[in-house]
């Protein structure tokens, strides 16, 4: 186990297992071929340009793309066509039940969304997911200490595993500052005044294949220096307990175990580099710095 | 002018203008085709495997590589063969006079060097150059202030332009900490005790074509928080004056001008991101974070 192993684990996917899908020349995501065929069948491609249907087209030998014929539709019509498609795919069990949180469907930035998608459906369509991760830390007498969250045992994803103090997805259209306040309150019981002290310090990106599909993630990273007397309290049940660890213990746990939720390792590695804990004497230093921001397909 | 423009300027090169050169399957650098032919002519390729000669080989249609036949030579013999070649190229004016500082010739990390090369010759062979850049800053009453260096008017490169407080190349085999001490003393008159407070905070990379050849650079970045009463003093003539600027003035100067030496812009953009001065509300945020670490060929 090494720092690089965690980066590799977050970047495990094979391009040939997926087809791009797009709209008017822009790639919006990546789908498994079998799912692409279900999309085409479910989207009623007759008179596709008017109804926002999908077709599977050959771009070249061995190179197919799932095309969404919605370039002539306005935002509302695209939303409507895409929602109808997802509902049909749910009905036939090709998509799970929605989570009720909307994510952007975008070829690039959050503000370039072409429509929105339910969070639970995003990996099936391999759309970019944006999020915010925050490391809460204290400058103790003996050096840095990091607040670590133990996830609740009833969580669907990664029960009992370690987590960053605050971490959450960024819904479509959400304001960065307001969403961070919301997450800081829900996950750690922090006031808006404390949350607003969080410093944006960069971003990480990675792309991973899961059973559902593809997860290209872009995460904004924040540092929040906390007073020694403050203890975070979870208000939404996601976290079972908070612990304050010396930075050396955090570093060792990340380097030598799988205790942390997969992507949290990367957020902490970035923290360790920026705070001079992982030093340029580490032979993997440059590779770590570069690969924390893997190109998103 | 924008932050991204500076990153683009540091990454301006065309792959087809260069040929790779390598040793036993490893790529050590990139050379212009005309220079490659001069190397072959100067290296006396007769019985190349014994003498460490060079040949130009076809890897495929339109794909040539300059091969160094030195796999069977030990370090000393490789150094000797490469030095002899460079001397011959100097004699015929294909290389400039040496600077007397040795850089590693490596397919990857500094500690994987296959031989060494004079700093002045590195761009001609397109070998990776490693360096250290340090931002000296003060936490003032009104926010962050950055020490900015004005380069001396008699400098060969970038006279009168702005620079990071301390910046220098990393010679082959140099210890990171000791080299930083040396640069901190020469360029800013800092004691070893102050220099040792510098925090390694990451790295940037970029690759640029120049008249000489190709410059793939990997720079270790350091932050050094300084007491308000300390004023840096140049001891080696590289810097004409030091000024302490409010961070907003630094940010504006980087964003809107070419006042800073080319690569210093990138080191400062990284500083601005890590210190929450460039925020995720900047539409280019992710692209900046990613492209500050451009893949090195």
| Residue A284 pLDDT exceeds 80 | yes
Q: Which residue of B has its CA nearest to A296?
A: B290
Mutate to test the interface with B, among A280, A287, A288, A294 (most CBs of B within 10 A): A280
On chain A, the residues whose CB falls within 8 A of the CB of B199 are 275-276
Nearest Cα of chain B lies from the Cα of A152 at a distance, in angstroms, of 30
| Residue B203 pLDDT exceeds 90 | yes
pLDDT bucket at B59, cuts 50 / 70 / 90: confident
Rg (CA), chain B: 21
User: Average pLDDT in the B183-208 region?
Assistant: 97
**C-alpha to C-alpha distance for A184 and A79, rounded to whole angstroms:** 30
Measured in degrees and rounded to the nearest 5, phi and psi for residue A111 equal: -80, 5
Q: Do A276 and B111 touch (CB under 8 A)?
A: no
**Per-residue pLDDT tens over the stretch A118-129:** 999 999 999 999
Share of chain B above pLDDT 90, in %: 88
Where along chain B do the CATH 3.90.79.10 domains lie? 3-11+129-291
| Residue B46 pLDDT exceeds 70 | no
Any B CB within 8 A of A295 CB: yes
| Higher-pLDDT residue of A234, B174 | B174
pLDDT bucket at A10, cuts 50 / 70 / 90: very high
Beta-bridge partner residues of A27:
A22
Identify the pLDDT of residue A84: 92
| Residue A44 pLDDT exceeds 80 | no
Q: Do B176 and A290 touch (CB under 8 A)?
A: no
CA A227 to each of CA A249, A289, B87, B142: distance values in angstroms, whole numbers, following the listed order: 20, 29, 62, 21
Ranking A73-77, A155-159, A186-190, B223-227 by mean pLDDT, the lowest is A155-159
**Least CB-CB distance to A280: which of B200, B205, B283?**
B200
Q: State the number of CA atoms in the 13 A half-sphere of B108 facing the CB.
A: 10
Helix B3-10 with B262-274: angle, nearest 10 deg: 130
Q: State the number of CA atoms in the 13 A half-sphere of B164 facing the CB.
A: 27
User: Average pLDDT in the A268-283 region?
Assistant: 97
Nearest Cα of chain A lies from the Cα of B202 at a distance, in angstroms, of 6
CB proximity list for B167: less than 8 A, separation 6 or greater = B131, B132, B133, B134, B183, B187, B264, B267
CB proximity list for A118: less than 8 A, separation 6 or greater = A86, A98, A99, A100, A101, A102, A103
**Least CB-CB distance to A176: which of B200, B281, B290?**
B281
| Residue B45 pLDDT exceeds 70 | no
Any A CB within 8 A of B297 CB: no
**C-alpha to C-alpha distance for A138 and A146, rounded to whole angstroms:** 6
On chain B, the residues whose CB falls within 8 A of the CB of A220 are 280, 285
- Token readout for A143 is 């050096």
- The b/e string for A151-167 (b: 16+ C-beta within 10 A; e otherwise) is bbeebeeeeebbbbbbb
Mutate to test the interface with B, among A197, A290, A295, A296 (most CBs of B within 10 A): A290
On chain A, the residues whose CB falls within 8 A of the CB of B286 are 109, 203, 205, 218
On chain B, the residues whose CB falls within 8 A of the CB of A273 are 200-202
Ranking A66-70, A81-85, B59-63, B271-275 by mean pLDDT, the lowest is B59-63
Identify the pLDDT of residue A247: 98
The pLDDT mean for chain B works out to 95
Any A CB within 8 A of B290 CB: yes
pLDDT bucket at A62, cuts 50 / 70 / 90: confident
Identify the pLDDT of residue B236: 81
On chain B, the residues whose CB falls within 8 A of the CB of A200 are 273, 276, 279-280
Q: Do B279 and A109 touch (CB under 8 A)?
A: no
Residue found under tokens 């036949």 = B69
**Least CB-CB distance to B276: which of A200, A218, A283?**
A200
Share of chain B above pLDDT 70, in %: 98
Query: How many residues would you count in chain B?
Result: 297
Interface of B with A in 168-187 (CB under 8 A): 176
Q: Do B290 and A293 touch (CB under 8 A)?
A: yes
Identify the pLDDT of residue A237: 84
Rg (CA), chain A: 21
**Least CB-CB distance to B203: which of A281, A289, A295?**
A289
Q: Which CATH class is domain A3-11+129-291?
A: alpha beta
Q: Considering the entire predicted model, what is its pTM?
A: 0.95
| Residue A234 pLDDT exceeds 90 | no
Identify the pLDDT of residue A45: 59
**Per-residue pLDDT tens over the stretch A138-184:** 998 999 999 999 988 988 888 899 999 999 999 999 999 999 999 99
User: Average pLDDT in the A233-240 region?
Assistant: 86
CA A196 to each of CA A176, A180, A182, A202, B181: distance values in angstroms, whole numbers, following the listed order: 11, 8, 11, 16, 37
**C-alpha to C-alpha distance for A96 and A37, rounded to whole angstroms:** 17
Q: Do A280 and B220 touch (CB under 8 A)?
A: yes
Q: Do A201 and B176 touch (CB under 8 A)?
A: no
On chain A, the residues whose CB falls within 8 A of the CB of B109 are 283, 286
**Least CB-CB distance to A286: which of B218, B273, B276?**
B218
Identify the pLDDT of residue B96: 97
User: Average pLDDT in the B92-110 region?
Assistant: 97
User: Average pLDDT in the A59-84 region?
Assistant: 92
Identify the pLDDT of residue B54: 94
- CA dihedral over B247, B240, B202, B223, signed as positive or negative: negative
Identify the pLDDT of residue A47: 67
Share of chain A above pLDDT 70, in %: 98
- Residue A76 buriedness (CB in 10 A; 0-12 / 13-18 / 19+): exposed
- In three-state secondary structure terms, A32 is coil
Where along chain A do the CATH 3.30.750.160 domains lie? 19-123
Any B CB within 8 A of A110 CB: no
| Residue A31 pLDDT exceeds 90 | yes
| Higher-pLDDT residue of A237, B207 | B207
**C-alpha to C-alpha distance for B132 and B198, rounded to whole angstroms:** 11
**Least CB-CB distance to B273: which of A202, A283, A289?**
A202
Any B CB within 8 A of A285 CB: yes
| Residue A63 pLDDT exceeds 90 | no
**Per-residue pLDDT tens over the stretch B127-160:** 999 999 999 999 999 999 999 999 889 888 888 9
Q: Which CATH class is domain B19-123?
A: alpha beta
The pLDDT mean for chain A works out to 95
| Residue A20 pLDDT exceeds 90 | yes
Q: Do A201 and B283 touch (CB under 8 A)?
A: no
């Amino acid at each position: 186990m090494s720092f690089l192993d965690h980066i590799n684990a977050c970047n495990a996917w094979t391009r040939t297992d997926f087809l791009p899908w797009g709209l008017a020349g822009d790639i919006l995501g990546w789908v498994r071929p079998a799912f692409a065929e279900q999309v085409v069948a479910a989207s009623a491609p007759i008179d596709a340009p008017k109804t926002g249907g999908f077709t599977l087209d050959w771009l070249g030998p061995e190179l197919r793309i799932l095309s969404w014929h919605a370039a002539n539709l306005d935002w509302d019509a695209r939303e409507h066509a895409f929602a109808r498609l997802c509902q049909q795919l749910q009905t036939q069990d090709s998509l799970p039940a929605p989570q009720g949180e909307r994510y952007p469907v975008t070829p690039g930035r959050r503000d370039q969304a072409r429509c929105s998608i339910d969070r639970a459906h995003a990996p099936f369509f391999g759309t970019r997911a944006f999020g915010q991760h925050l490391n809460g830390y204290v400058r103790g007498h003996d050096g840095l200490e990091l607040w670590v969250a133990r996830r609740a045992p009833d969580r669907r994803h990664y029960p009992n595993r370690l987590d960053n103090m605050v971490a959450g997805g960024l819904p479509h259209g959400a304001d960065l500052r307001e969403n961070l306040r919301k997450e800081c309150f829900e996950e750690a019981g922090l006031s808006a005044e404390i949350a607003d002290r969080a410093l944006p310090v960069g971003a990480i990106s990675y792309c991973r294949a899961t059973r559902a599909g593809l997860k290209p993630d872009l995460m904004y990273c924040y540092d929040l220096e906390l007073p020694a007397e403050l203890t975070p309290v979870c208000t939404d049940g996601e976290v079972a307990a908070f612990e304050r660890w010396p930075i050396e213990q955090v570093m060792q746990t990340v380097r030598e175990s799988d205790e942390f939720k997969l992507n949290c390792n990367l957020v902490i590695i970035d923290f360790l580099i920026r705070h001079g804990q992982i030093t340029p004497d580490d032979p993997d230093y440059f590779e770590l710095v570069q690969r924390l921001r893997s190109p998103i397909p």
